[in-house]
Structure 1
Amino acid sequence: MTRIFLVSLIPLRPEGPSGPPSERSDAARNRERLLQAARELVAEHGVDALTMDMLACRAQVGKGTVFRRFGNRAGLMMTLLSDAEAEFQQRFIFGPPPLGPGAPPEERLIAFGEARIRYIDENGELARAAEHSPHNRHAAPPALLWHRHVELLLREAGVEGDPWVMASFLLAALDPERVLYALRTQGIEVARIEAGWREFAGRLLGCPPHAG
């Protein structure tokens, strides 16, 4: 039986790529100036060095303006990630198989993990900073969407046990901080981490390990 995946895109920020319809043109320009300044600072100094004070100084606005726009530092990082996250969501919800619909749930789950590992390799420093608080890590809309997606794939695959809890365990293996530590500090290659994910997820699903 084919199940319909009734879920909509949940981007990191509530507005669309060009801002909410009611946003004034000057506010939109200020927002883009802040984001451009943040991207420059990240490129120059790295994610960990970026502070709200630095951003206010570079963008030549008051510190209060920065906090009103993004809420806090994690909110800024989430906004910087928004385009990449929206593209990732588009791929696993509507894109071609095996990541998108049309492949068996076992193949989709393995493809999801592989794609997430590559996402962290490309965007991991921002993702780690954006998930600084427990709320952002577990209860932000994107995190809820990933969890629901993995849980539904486990249910479709007929996995015994508690799919909700098992989805939590699987996503813990894709934690940006853990994956980044393996990549950046331990020098583990992306291909090796992907192979480990395939074996881990495959054993959970009762699939024989394979090289991929």
Structure 2
Amino acid sequence: MTQERADAARNRAKILAAAAELVADKGIEGLGMAEVAAASGVGVGTLYRRFGDRSGLAYALIDAKEREFQEAFLSGPPPLGPGAPSGERVRAFLHGLVDRTFAQLDLLLMAETAGPFARFGGAYEAYHRHLSLLIADANPSADAPFAADALLAPLAANLVIHRGRPPAALKSGLDELLHGVLASPT
């Protein structure tokens, strides 16, 4: 793997910052290649060479936030990161994922609806594996893989938009589901 040149890394950071600001201000419609190039101070050709097209730029924005979130739940401080009981970590993870979803809802909608299995790519599999392990540890009698899918389902971007539930309501609903998942059978 080749090392990214320092100037290329700086340009990438400027481009992603400008793109994120445009999306925050204008929504996904604001993510035009010419607008991002102008806002970041790079040429449109640089943008196309680097990201291919608008969707490549959107995926780069998602990827940057995804890396931050995964770093937090894999090695960050508890309760999201290691060091807290598994049940607490599941709750912190789900609440963090709600926040992460709302932070890039339009971008995630675009990415998750790109194809029939687009939602189930690398990030979903990482979430599923992480939740399955934590659930199995917290409640060995649970069907952890099924429970992980059930807990992740309400966070599909299209369902979040369709239902219109605010973050607090989603977190509360997930807490209720989680209570049932972690309860041991009597």
Instruction: Indicate how the Cα distance of structure 1 residues 150 and 74 shifts in structure 2: closer, same or farther if over 3 A, else same.
Output: farther
Offset of residue 29 of structure 1: 4.2
Which is bigger in relative contact order (C-alpha 8 A, separation at least 6)?
Answer: 1
RMSD: 3.0
Aligned to 1:7: none
Task: Give yes or no for contact 1:93–1:101 (8 Å, CA) kept in 2.
Answer: yes
Aligned to 2:91: 110
TM-score, normalisation: structure 1: 0.68
Aligned to 1:17: none
**Alignment match of 1:199 (pick from 149, 152, 176):** 176
**Alignment match of 1:41 (pick from 9, 12, 22):** 22
Q: How does 1:1-212 map to 2 (within 5 A)?
A: 22-52=3-33, 54-56=35-37, 61-62=43-44, 65-134=46-115, 136-140=118-122, 142-156=123-137, 157-161=139-143, 163-182=144-163, 186=164, 188-206=165-183
Offset of residue 198 of structure 1: 0.5
Offset of residue 72 of structure 1: 4.2
* CA distance in 2: counterparts of 1:57 and 1:96, whole angstroms: 38
Task: Give yes or no for contact 1:138–1:144 (8 Å, CA) kept in 2.
Answer: yes
TM-score, normalisation: structure 2: 0.76
Secondary structure of 2:140 counterpart: coil
Q: Percent identity?
A: 36
* CA distance in 2: counterparts of 1:150 and 1:27, whole angstroms: 36
Offset of residue 84 of structure 1: 2.9
Instruction: Indicate how the Cα distance of structure 1 residues 70 and 100 shifts in structure 2: closer, same or farther if over 3 A, else same.
Output: same
Instruction: Indicate how the Cα distance of structure 1 residues 36 and 104 shifts in structure 2: closer, same or farther if over 3 A, else same.
Output: closer
Q: Which runs of 5+ in 1 are unaligned?
A: 1-19, 208-212
* CA distance in 1: counterparts of 2:42 and 2:69, whole angstroms: 33
Counterpart AA for 1:177: N
**Number of residues of Structure 1 aligned to a counterpart in Structure 2:** 182
Secondary structure of 2:4 counterpart: coil
Q: Can you list the C-alpha shifts for 1:97-128, whole angstroms capped at 9, x where unaligned?
A: 33222333222212211121122233323333
